[in-house]
Amino acid sequence: MSSRRTAAVAGSLVAASFSAVVILSGTAGAEDEGPGSSKGGKVVDEAPAGVKLTTRLPEKISVDNGSGRTALTATVKNDGNKYSGKVLLLVVGFDGLTVKSVQGCSRIAEMNLPEGSNSGFRCPVGNLAAGESTSYAVDATYDLGKAGKICLSVQTGDGKKTLWQQGPVPFGTTNPSPDAPATPLLLGTDNKPVSPGKPDSPGGKELPKTGPARALLPLGAAGASLLAAGAAGMWWSQRRRPVRQEV
pLDDT of 33: 63
Q: How many CB atoms are closer than 10 A to CB 10?
A: 10
pTM over 0.85: no
pLDDT of 59: 96
Coil, helix or strand at residue 212: helix
Which whole number is the average pLDDT over 223-245? 43
Whether 229 and 122 have beta carbons less than 8 Å apart is answered as yes
Q: How many CB atoms are closer than 10 A to CB 93?
A: 24
- Residue 177, amino acid: S
Taking the C-alpha atoms of residue 37 and residue 165, their distance in angstroms, rounded to an integer, is: 13
pLDDT of 193: 81
Residue among 243, 236, 247, 239 nearest 113 (CA)? 236
The total of structural domains in the chain comes to: 1
Tally the C-alpha atoms within 13 A of residue 47's C-alpha that lie toward its C-beta. Answer: 26
Residue among 139, 156, 163, 149 nearest 215 (CA)? 149
Q: Residue 83's beta-bridge partner residues? A: none
Which whole number is the average pLDDT over 162-169? 96
Asked whether the predicted pLDDT for residue 6 surpasses 70, the reply is no
% residues pLDDT > 70 (the chain): 64
> Which phi and psi (to 5°) does residue 23 adopt?
-65, -45
Residue 194 lies in a domain: yes
Q: What is the pLDDT of residues 184-227, one digit of tens each?
A: 999 999 998 865 544 343 333 333 343 343 444 444 334 444 54
Highest-confidence range of 25-29, 106-110, 173-177, 191-195, by mean pLDDT?
106-110
Residue 129 lies in a domain: yes
Q: How many CB atoms are closer than 10 A to CB 100?
A: 15
Residue 200 lies in a domain: yes
Asked whether the predicted pLDDT for residue 26 surpasses 50, the reply is no
Taking the C-alpha atoms of residue 163 and residue 124, their distance in angstroms, rounded to an integer, is: 15
Residue 124 lies in a domain: yes
Residue 12 lies in a domain: no
Which whole number is the average pLDDT over 131-160? 95
| 94 compared with 195, residue with greater pLDDT | 94
Taking the C-alpha atoms of residue 132 and residue 144, their distance in angstroms, rounded to an integer, is: 35
Residue 15 lies in a domain: no
Taking the C-alpha atoms of residue 192 and residue 144, their distance in angstroms, rounded to an integer, is: 8
pLDDT of 195: 57
Domain of 141, in residue numbers: 29-232
pLDDT of 226: 52
pLDDT of 11: 46
Asked whether the predicted pLDDT for residue 158 surpasses 60, the reply is yes
Q: What is the pLDDT of residues 34-76, one digit of tens each?
A: 578 999 999 999 999 999 999 999 999 999 999 999 999 999 9
Which whole number is the average pLDDT over 113-125? 94
What pLDDT band is residue 104 in, cutting at 50, 70 and 90? very high
Residue 10 lies in a domain: no
Whether 73 and 99 have beta carbons less than 8 Å apart is answered as no
Asked whether the predicted pLDDT for residue 242 surpasses 80, the reply is no
User: Any idea of the CA torsion for 55, 216, 67, 177, to the nearest 10 degrees?
Assistant: -110
C-alpha dist (Å) from residue 50 to 34, 83, 130, 156: 29, 8, 9, 15
Taking the C-alpha atoms of residue 224 and residue 159, their distance in angstroms, rounded to an integer, is: 10
Residue 17 lies in a domain: no
pLDDT of 240: 42
> Which phi and psi (to 5°) does residue 168 adopt?
-60, 125
Average pLDDT, the chain: 76
- What are the DSSP calls for 41-82, one per residue? EE--SPPPTT--EEEEEESEEEEETTT-EEEEEEEEEE-SSS
CATH number, domain of 189, equals: 2.60.40.10
